[in-house]
Amino acid sequence: MSVVGTGSFFGSPEEERDKLLQSLMDQKKKVSKPEGIPLITLNDGHSIPQLGFGVFKVDPAEAERIVSEALEVGYRHIDTAAIYGNEEGVGRAIAKSGIPREELFITTKLWNDRHLDVEAAFEESLAKLGLEYVDLYLLHWPAPANDNYAAAWKAMEKLGDRARSIGVCNFLPEHLEKLLAAADVVPTINQIELHPALQQREAVEASQAAGIAIESWGPLGQGKYDLSAEAPIAAAAEHHGKTPAQVVIRWHLQNGTIVFPKTVTASRMAENLDVFDFLLSNEEMDAITALERNARGGAHPNDLN
């Protein structure tokens, strides 16, 4: 499997870009197989597939079928959470798939009302998923009004090998600073809302300075704005013969962030995975980056407690 760092492709000389494009084309030939998806190495030495499948708002009654389809299409990284209510369906799809456990990367998350009850909450998630371990366990929101996130983190540090990697979501620099002051283990991941109209540069910089990789949630803006109406996205899509969603996923990948767009439509599952046969130019990357307008679609991390 190819391994990429968290750097971007910016600034490569032309020859290097040709080589990169060739290697992306080679990956494309393998994209129906999971080994086509690049791996990111986390600060604890574990690897995570850079492109995965998210299941926020996937109906629990539909989760087994939808995750089965996603695994069939070639996804091997699934992002769920206790609060989504669909861990059981995700677990059934995993069990039925017959895919060896070590080929999968499964994430779930601790909900805000369990910050003082971490071990029991974690056991419940494992039981619902029907798994012996998860690859990544995330503290879902800092919920700063309750001020228990540092205590929750200390308990997460003690979960041992059944949570192979641990990390956080929705942490602003002030939350990270407080957590790191109390922590023995640096989070591997900060999963934050991130898409062209909201790039959270301060949270990204504070995370990366501490060696924490960024996962982008809502990578397509959750459908809250029309990607095809954004001129640089539409232009790049036309130029490369790709869809606006594919261009935005490519923008995330070239920036080195980890993404798991959600869809319940099989054709879009395949479309969102088919992003390894083209390369956005520096100019296209910069033009999409210039779409930043602080357009937060989800909750502000200080407001969800």
Active site residues: 84
**Nearest to ligand NAD by Cβ — which residue?**
54
Question: From the CB of 73, what's the least distance to ligand NAD, in Å?
Answer: 12
Rounded-to-integer distance, Cα 67 and Cα 73, Å = 10
Binding window for ligand NAD (CB under 6 A); candidates: 19-27, 54-62, 88-96, 155-163? 54-62
Out of 40, 51, 55, 197, the residue judged to bind ligand NAD by CB under 6 A: 55
105 lies in the site for ligand NAD, by CB under 6 A: no
Q: Distance between CA 67 and CA 106 in Å, rounded?
A: 12
Instruction: Give the integer Cα–Cα distance in Å for 114 and 143.
Output: 11
38 contacts 49 by C-beta, under 8 angstroms? yes
Q: Does 245 bind ligand NAD (CB under 6 A)?
A: yes
Give the binding range for ligand NAD (CB under 6 A) out of 19-27, 48-56, 233-241, 274-282. 48-56
Mask: binding to ligand NAD, 117-156, rule CB under 6 A, as x and -?
Answer: -----------------------x----------------
Cβ atoms of residues 44 and 188 within 8 Å: yes
- Return the H-helix or E-strand segment holding 189: strand 189-193
Q: Is 8 helix (H, G, I), strand (E, B) or coil?
A: coil
Is residue 68 close enough to count as binding ligand NAD by CB under 6 A? no
Instruction: Indicate left, alpha or beta for 147 from its phi (over 0: left) and psi (-120 to 50: alpha).
Output: left
Task: Answer yes or no: is 140 a known binding residue.
Answer: yes
Binder to ligand NAD among 34, 49, 218, 232 (CB under 6 A)? 218
Q: How far apart are CA 141 and CA 298, in angstroms?
A: 12
Distance CA(200)–CA(152), nearest Å, equals 24
Q: What residue ranges bind ligand NAD (CB under 6 A)?
A: 54-56, 79, 140, 169-170, 191, 217-223, 243, 245, 260-263, 268, 271-272, 298
